[in-house]
Amino acid sequence: MNVIVCVKQVIDPEAPPASFKIDPTGNKMVTPPGVSPVVDPYAEYAVEAALRIKDVQGGKITAISLGANLVPEMVKKPLAMGADELILLADEAFAEGDSWSTAYALGMAIKKLGDYDLILCGREASDWDAGQVGSGIAEFLGLPSVSLARKIDITEGKARVERVTDDGYEVVEVSLPAVITVSNELGEPRYATIKGIMIARRKEPVVWKPADIGVESSQIGAAGRRSQLLKLFQPVREGKCEVAEGDSPEEAAVNLALKLREAKAL
Amino acid sequence: MAEYKGVLIYAEIGEGKLKAISTELLGCGRKLADDLGQELCAVLVGSGVSSLAREAIAFGADKVYVVDDPLLEDYQADSYVSVMAKVVKQVMPQILILGQTSIGRDLAPGLAFRLGTAAATDCIELAIDPDSKLMWQTKPVYGGNAQAIFTCQSYPQIATVRAKAMSPLERDDSKQGEVITIGADLDASAIRARVLEKVREEVEGIKLEEAEVIVSGGRGIGGADGFKQLEELAKILKGAVGASRPPCDNGWVADSLQVGLTGKIVAPNLYIAVGISGASQHISGCSGAKNIVAINKDPEANIFRQAHFGVVGDWKKVLPAFTSKVRELLAE
Ligand SMILES: Cc1cc2nc3c(=O)[nH]c(=O)nc-3n(C[C@H](O)[C@H](O)[C@H](O)COP(=O)(O)OP(=O)(O)OC[C@H]3O[C@@H](n4cnc5c(N)ncnc54)[C@H](O)[C@@H]3O)c2cc1C
Ligand SMILES: Nc1ncnc2c1ncn2[C@@H]1O[C@H](COP(=O)(O)O)[C@@H](O)[C@H]1O
């Protein structure tokens, strides 16, 4: 089994909400000071899904990250977790893309790699919360896709996927090669081991530029967008919290109930 | 581009009825169509769904396209994307709106890429720019830490809309409309991803999305046992139990109880968040609640910036006293 996992570098989505600030001139999120970038959490679940498949089937896992300003120690995380190769589509021309231009470039890189059975993505990256790149790669490569996977089993050229639905899950069988996007219901990603981190440190990622994957700069990054970002903003919340007090937690609790009653919330 | 016209909404069906999201989409689509001075159309895709066309008209549609075929019994990406691509080519709408549901999340991007246009997912506001007549697509980004407005210059402009972000119209059974059937023309052998089985994992009692009161627990609850106390309070308030992500990930409660960006979107009258820090991704799912109450031992927790009422303290001490006072007040 050759599995490709797409992994994005993002601002840590669990950084304190107050640390998220917008650059007023650039319609861009400012990287909060002291907050280091991370692997997008759902892609980490995708790496975990790939590793579980490899644990059973053997094979090779190739991680791909696209972006500008990729931080080597960060994007190497899939290697530290157990992936075999890392490809970086690292160039200014890839930056500021939308789902369309990102999926196109990733699709072209995967085409160049050629030998794959399965492509895994996260269900949505935690910056734009789009949830589209997996579908896009599938369309560009003419592959079937299954989204929101919580379990993947491989048997005889097929994947049996448990797909999360609004009221439970469904079992979907898909022929391979296919694209599958992974959700957190899969279960916690494993930690990188010390050995894994040492191996990752020594491994050099392969870097591809636009020309290496046969794309024009007009088709990728900001230039290749099909959707325009008009405005990025932070709505102000005027709300104020009425905190119930008391000499003891029990008394505060009683006061809370009384406040709610008074406000007709109970 | 001139020949693209009108607003088309994708109406989801569940248990033989239009889902709540579908009537919400019709409400929002009606406004967009009126602002453009164009028609509002709905499309129903499934097996045995024709009878619901009248419903869609009563909730605002001028025209309903029906694609009814036994092969469309279950949502399967291959068949639904191909059917919807056919519908779009025939109807040529300027705007296509779907729900941000397990179907819409899959169908909208698949279709957008198939048609060579862009989709904006999880929108909470859609409006027509008076000048360009393009659709402004507003969606929370960065887990709810910001919002973005997108436009798309290729047609159809596709958006998915978050549950409970839009209001349905009053039902009007006297409203007239046209029903048009479109053939599915499916080739069963072209379905590469097949649904073999569907499993419902719903918990007993009031449905989370429909509850007027929700008692939600977070990582601070510490285990499945603690949730029993939340259940007790929920029962007294005739409400439902919800959770942030960690209790679901840890198996303390069913995954279907997760509230938030990637869980359920709820808008109850009363939302009591116990041991929840108030991460933006969680707040995304409950910010529509009329009254948010926080019980948290950390006075600096972000939840206090979102809540209307709160107590700073250990829930193990606060909750029993709160529960018994509530019981007493409700008995009066
Ligand atoms: C892309 C993405 C999507 C996500 N989607 C969702 C989603 O849909 N829903 C969701 O909930 N999360 C989601 N998350 C996760 C989210 O970012 C937070 O990690 C999560 O909501 C935190 O849950 P929590 O508040 O229960 O836990 P914590 O943040 O760990 O907070 C626990 C709180 O409990 C309090 N506490 C501890 N003990 C006690 C006690 N004895 N008494 C009172 N208070 C106590 C603590 O003070 C703390 O505030 C998502 C994350 C990402 C990156
Ligand atoms: N720049 C990128 N580099 C690598 N993978 C990406 C990139 N953008 C998106 N992906 C993959 O696509 C998933 C969904 O992203 P999105 O559609 O942007 O929400 C992510 O979880 C990644 O697996």
Among B131, B262, B295, B315, pick the best mutation site for testing chain A contact (most A Cβ within 10 A). B262
Q: What confidence tens digit (pLDDT) does each residue in B161-174 have?
A: 999 999 999 999 99
Cα–Cα distance, A161 to A181 (Å, whole number): 10
Same domain, yes or no, for B298 and B167? no
Tokens for A151, please give them: 């379990």
Q: Are A174 and B192 in contact (CB < 8 Å)?
A: yes
Return the pLDDT at A178. Answer: 98
Ligand 1 mutation pick, B244, B255, B315, max ligand atoms within 8 A of CB: B244
Is B282 part of a structural domain of the chain?
yes
Task: Name the E strands within chain B.
Answer: 7-11, 13-14, 17-18, 40-46, 63-68, 95-99, 119-123, 125-128, 135-141, 146-152, 157-161, 178-181, 193-200, 213-217, 240-243, 270-274, 291-296, 309-312
Contact present, A207 and A88 (Cβ < 8 Å): yes
ipTM of the complex: 0.96
Which residues does B165 contact at the CB level (< 8 Å), separation at least 6? B24, B123, B124, B125, B265, B288
Q: End of a domain among B124, B157, B190? A: B190
Residue B1 has pLDDT above 70, yes or no: no
Q: End of a domain among B159, B190, B221? A: B190
Residue B203 has pLDDT above 90, yes or no: no
What residues are paired with B160 via a beta bridge? B98
Is B165 part of a structural domain of the chain?
yes
Q: Are B202 and A168 in contact (CB < 8 Å)?
A: yes
Same domain, yes or no, for B137 and B283? no
| Ligand 1 lined by B140 (C-beta under 6 Å) | no
Same domain, yes or no, for B134 and B233? no
| Ligand 2 lined by A121 (C-beta under 6 Å) | yes
Same domain, yes or no, for B220 and B163? no
Same domain, yes or no, for B186 and B212? no
Chain B closest CA to A79's CA: distance in Å?
A: 24
Q: Are A172 and B262 in contact (CB < 8 Å)?
A: no
What are the two backbone dihedrals, phi and then psi, of residue B48, each rounded to the nearest 5 degrees?
Answer: 70, 40
Instruction: Tell me how far the alpha carbon of residue A113 lies from the centroid of ligand 2, in angstroms.
Output: 18
Same domain, yes or no, for B172 and B244? no
How many residues does this entry show for chain B?
332
CATH code assigned at B300: 3.40.50.1220
Ligand closest to Cα of B262 equals 1
Residue written as tokens 């509850």?
A: B211
Return the pLDDT at A21. Answer: 93
From chain A, the residues in CB contact with B152 under 8 A are 226-228
Same domain, yes or no, for B35 and B126? yes
Range of the domain at B268: 208-331
Q: Are A257 and B151 in contact (CB < 8 Å)?
A: no
Same domain, yes or no, for B137 and B228? no
Return the pLDDT at B2. Answer: 52
Single out the residue of B1, B5, B45 nearest to residue B22, CA to CA: B45
Same domain, yes or no, for B22 and B163? yes
Q: What confidence tens digit (pLDDT) does each residue in B41-81 have?
A: 999 999 999 999 999 999 999 999 999 999 999 999 999 99
CATH code assigned at B186: 3.40.50.620
Contact present, B30 and B64 (Cβ < 8 Å): no
Is B21 part of a structural domain of the chain?
yes
From chain A, the residues in CB contact with B78 under 8 A are 144
Residue from the list A130, A167, A253 with its beta carbon closest to the beta carbon of B325: A253
Ligand closest to Cα of A5 equals 2
Is B200 part of a structural domain of the chain?
no
Chain B closest CA to A76's CA: distance in Å?
A: 23
Chain B closest CA to A143's CA: distance in Å?
A: 9
Cα–Cα distance, B188 to B208 (Å, whole number): 36
What are the two backbone dihedrals, phi and then psi, of residue B270, each rounded to the nearest 5 degrees?
Answer: -130, 125
Mean pLDDT of B112-128: 98
Q: Are A126 and B143 in contact (CB < 8 Å)?
A: yes
Atom of ligand 2 nearest to the CA of A46: 23
- Interface check for A249 against chain B (CB to CB < 8 A): the answer is yes
Single out the residue of A250, A228, A199, A253 nearest to residue A85, CA to CA: A199
Name the segment(s) of chain A with CATH classification 3.40.50.620: 2-224
Cα–Cα distance, A229 to A226 (Å, whole number): 10
Same domain, yes or no, for B213 and B185? no
Ligand 1 mutation pick, B102, B230, B245, max ligand atoms within 8 A of CB: B245
Residue B197 has pLDDT above 80, yes or no: yes
How many other CB atoms are found less than 10 A from the CB of residue B65? 22
Q: Are A132 and B330 in contact (CB < 8 Å)?
A: no
Query: pLDDT truncated to tens, each residue of chain A (266 aa)?
Result: 999 999 999 999 999 988 999 998 888 999 888 888 999 999 999 999 999 999 999 999 999 999 999 999 899 999 999 999 999 999 999 999 999 999 999 999 999 999 999 999 999 999 999 999 999 999 999 999 999 999 999 999 999 999 999 989 999 999 999 999 999 999 999 999 999 999 999 999 999 999 999 999 999 999 999 999 999 999 887 778 999 999 999 999 999 999 999 999 99
Residue B123 has pLDDT above 90, yes or no: yes
Tokens for B280, please give them: 């933006």
Which residues does B194 contact at the CB level (< 8 Å), separation at least 6? A172, A173, A174, B76
CATH topology of domain A2-224: Rossmann fold (3.40.50)
Cα–Cα distance, A135 to A72 (Å, whole number): 27
Cis amide leading into A177 (omega within 30): yes
Q: Are B109 and A184 in contact (CB < 8 Å)?
A: no
Helix (H), strand (E), coil (C) string for chain A: CEEEEECCEEECCCCCHHHCEEECCCCEEECCCCCCEEECHHHHHHHHHHHHHHHHHCCEEEEEEEECCCCHHHHCHHHHHCCCEEEEEECHHHCCCCHHHHHHHHHHHHHHHCCCCEEEEECCCCCCCCCCHHHHHHHHHCCCEEEEEEEEEEECCEEEEEEEECCEEEEEEEECCEEEEECHHHCCCCCCCHHHHHHHHHCCCEEECHHHHCCCHHHCHHHHCCEEEEEEECCCCCCCCEECCCCCHHHHHHHHHHHHHHCCCC
Is B283 part of a structural domain of the chain?
yes
| Ligand 2 lined by A62 (C-beta under 6 Å) | no
Task: Report the predicted TM-score, pTM, of the whole model to 2 decimal places.
Answer: 0.97
Same domain, yes or no, for B136 and B256? no
Q: What confidence tens digit (pLDDT) does each residue in B15-28 have?
A: 899 999 999 999 99
Tokens for B319, please give them: 């909750």
Return the pLDDT at A26. Answer: 80
How many folded domains does chain B comprise? 2
Same domain, yes or no, for B174 and B229? no
